[in-house]
Amino acid sequence: MTHDWNRGKGAPEPSMTPPELDDETLRDGLQSPSALQPPLDEKIRFLHILADIGIQAADIGLPAAGARTEEEVTELAREISTNRLPIVPNCAARTLEGDVEAVIRAAESSGQEIEAAIFLGSSPIRSEVERWDLESLLRMTRESVGLAVRNGLPVMFVTEDSTRSHPRILDAVYSEALEAGAGRLCIADTAGASTPEGAARIVAFLRGVLEKRGARNIRLDWHGHMDRGLGLACALSAVGAGIDRLHGSGLGVGERVGNVPMDLLIVNLKLAGLWEGALVPLKDYVRWVSKQTGTPIPRRYPAFGSDAYRTATGVHASAIRKAMKREDPELTGLMYSSVSASWFGFRQMVEVGPMSGRSNVLCWLESRGIQETTDLVESILGSAKEARRTLTEEEILEIVRRAQAGKGRPT
């Protein structure tokens, strides 16, 4: 329907294998200092929303955080097992024996296999404050991954702050994790420091580490944050570089300014031809996250904000009205947006304000089945031109009532 100049070298291509997704809302997302903690029954409902969307994996918590968290993690894992939800659960764990043992207990109690997401700070500044040397890093990696593997847990080994870590250190600790039995490695842009070019370089670097070791079956993850506003772009760049799974959270909730927004990640994978899951349930997903974590959806938030599919501009309304007459929701949705409202069960809204023209008024009246007259159109448009903002539904309906009663427009 349109020509896409975004295709080309370095960009994700539809012919690539679509990356899997790992939702971090229930763990990393809830680390946001502003987030409310949803009750357990709502967390359970959230798992079903993820399944409806087609998200393949979810971080369901850090069980070592306390007895209550471990109980909830166990119940969430049991819900996945009992209902055979198509979601692979994982749990965060530091490179500490107690953390790994908490994941083991949750897996055994729930009867559900849980991937241990074992993370270790690898950047020079972390080693400086912790007084860790390379041997310490290797020992913690070896012992924690080995403990998980001996107890039957699949392991995703995460180097925290990977994008500010030295290649020599990353090579050593990733190799140690592989030697201990990790089946998945994760690059974490913990401080949101990466650029898209940097993301591609570090993915290529880690691919080289795997190639050197002949570990071609090991899967690679990307976990990003939004500190410099580039998290989404970095995640897409990582896809172009060959990453296997991407992490994100609903509305980007998370520590500091948050994680990569899972909802926008899916929107962009759809636009790149790399999303085969559902789109309409994303509306329930973002509403759940907003309500249960107390995170408002900004008006101008892409795809799901209240202004995403509203227009009050005359030249835009003219083209949109013509598209509407073709009775093709996607054509209408893409006329002045790269993201169609119809994908998510929304509809394009044409409103009337100071920047509007006659087409706005005609479109507004037609969409509500109100018969147009020249006087009515001019009355609504005249009020809009004198206003400082878009007219509300009630204000326009009042003009319609007065016109029908022969009273003229309000003063």
Mean of pLDDT over the chain: 94
Choice among 9-23, 165-179, 237-251, 299-313 with the minimum mean pLDDT: 9-23
Strand pairing report for 155-160 and 184-189: parallel
Give residue 15's pLDDT. Answer: 61
- pLDDT confidence bin for 61, thresholds 50/70/90: very high
CB 28 within 8 A of CB 62: no
Residue spans in the chain of domains classed CATH 3.20.20.70? 20-293
Give residue 6's pLDDT. Answer: 77
CB 403 within 8 A of CB 409: yes
Rg (CA), the chain: 25
Please give the Cα distance from 323 to 334 (Å, whole number).
10
Please give the Cα distance from 367 to 297 (Å, whole number).
26
Give residue 122's pLDDT. Answer: 92
Choice among 111-115, 143-147, 300-304, 313-317 with the minimum mean pLDDT: 313-317
Residue 102 backbone phi and psi in degrees, to 5: -65, -40
Task: With a cut of 70, say whether residue 394 has pLDDT above it.
Answer: yes
- pLDDT confidence bin for 331, thresholds 50/70/90: confident
pLDDT, tens digit (0-9, with 9 covering 90-100), for 236-277:
999 999 999 999 999 999 999 999 999 999 999 999 999 988
- pLDDT confidence bin for 408, thresholds 50/70/90: low
- pLDDT confidence bin for 332, thresholds 50/70/90: confident
Strand pairing report for 88-94 and 349-350: unpaired
Sign of CA dihedral 126, 129, 134, 139: negative
What is the pLDDT averaged over residues 208-236?
Answer: 95
CB 381 within 8 A of CB 409: no
Question: In terms of pLDDT, which residue wins out, 6 or 220?
Answer: 220
CB 311 within 8 A of CB 351: yes
Task: With a cut of 90, say whether residue 411 has pLDDT above it.
Answer: no
- pLDDT confidence bin for 96, thresholds 50/70/90: very high
Give residue 179's pLDDT. Answer: 96
Indicate the SS3 state at residue 121.
Answer: strand
- pLDDT confidence bin for 230, thresholds 50/70/90: very high
CB 221 within 8 A of CB 184: yes
Task: With a cut of 90, say whether residue 7 has pLDDT above it.
Answer: no
The C-alpha angle 141, 144, 146, rounded to 5 degrees, equals 95
Task: With a cut of 90, say whether residue 176 has pLDDT above it.
Answer: yes
Residue 216 is encoded by which pair of tokens? 């071609």
Cβ atoms < 10 Å from Cβ of 242? 15
Please give the Cα distance from 204 to 161 (Å, whole number).
17
Indicate the SS3 state at residue 92.
Answer: strand
Residue 126 is encoded by which pair of tokens? 């972390």
Task: With a cut of 80, say whether residue 390 has pLDDT above it.
Answer: yes
Q: Which of 66, 68, 28 is nearest to 226 (CA)?
A: 28
Predicted TM-score (pTM) of the model is 0.91
Angle between helices 67-82 and 40-53 (to 10 degrees): 40
Please give the Cα distance from 148 to 141 (Å, whole number).
11
Question: In the chain, what percentage of residues exceed pLDDT 70?
Answer: 97
Q: Which residues, listed in sequence order, are joined to residue 259 by a DSSP beta bridge?
A: 225
Output 34-38 pairs: Cβ under 8 A, ≥24 positions apart.
34/294, 34/295, 35/253, 35/293, 35/294, 35/295, 36/292, 36/293, 36/294, 38/292, 38/293
Q: Return the CATH number of the domain spanning residue range 20-293.
A: 3.20.20.70
What residue has token string 């198509």?
86
Give residue 161's pLDDT. Answer: 96
- pLDDT confidence bin for 403, thresholds 50/70/90: confident
Return the H-helix or E-strand segment holding 247.
Answer: strand 245-248
CB 217 within 8 A of CB 252: no
Residue 150 is encoded by which pair of tokens? 């001996």
CB 103 within 8 A of CB 153: yes
Give residue 1's pLDDT. Answer: 66
CB 204 within 8 A of CB 166: no
